[in-house]
A = this chain, B = another copy of it.
């Protein structure tokens, strides 16, 4: 399984990060990753179709909110907390307090 592209921390933009977070399913996913640490996609029960779930993971990855690391036949997902904190101090914590 090939490695997926991720934006560099310096390339994260506030509009794209806010847009990626502006969806209830994606906010729920971010909440689960904040609570449970790195997890495979299938452990994050999103209650949506697989193609829809893939879309949400991609939006979060392309915005720089999650890291997707290949492991065996699946991807392990984690929040890019340090990168987000460095670029937008306090933003992710404020979102997590509210969700």
Residues of A within 8 A of B (CB): 14-16, 18-19, 21-24, 27, 87-91, 93-95, 97-99
- Secondary structure at the A interface, as helix, strand, loop or mixed, is helix
Cα(A91)–Cα(B17), bound, Å:
13
Q: Bound complex: CA of A16 vs CA of B88, how far in Å?
A: 20
The number of times this chain is found in the oligomer is 2
Q: What distance in Å separates the Cβ of A7 from its nearest Cβ neighbour in chain B? A: 16
Say whether A18 contacts B95, CB under 8 Å: yes
Which residue of chain B has the shortest Cβ distance to A12 in the bound complex? B98
Is there an interface contact between A14 and B88, defined as CB atoms closer than 8 Å?
A: no
Residue of B nearest to A87 (CB): B98
Give complex CA distance A91, B14 in Å: 13
How distant is the Cα of A88 from the Cα of B91 in the complex, in angstroms?
A: 11
Shortest Cβ distance from A25 into B: residue: B15
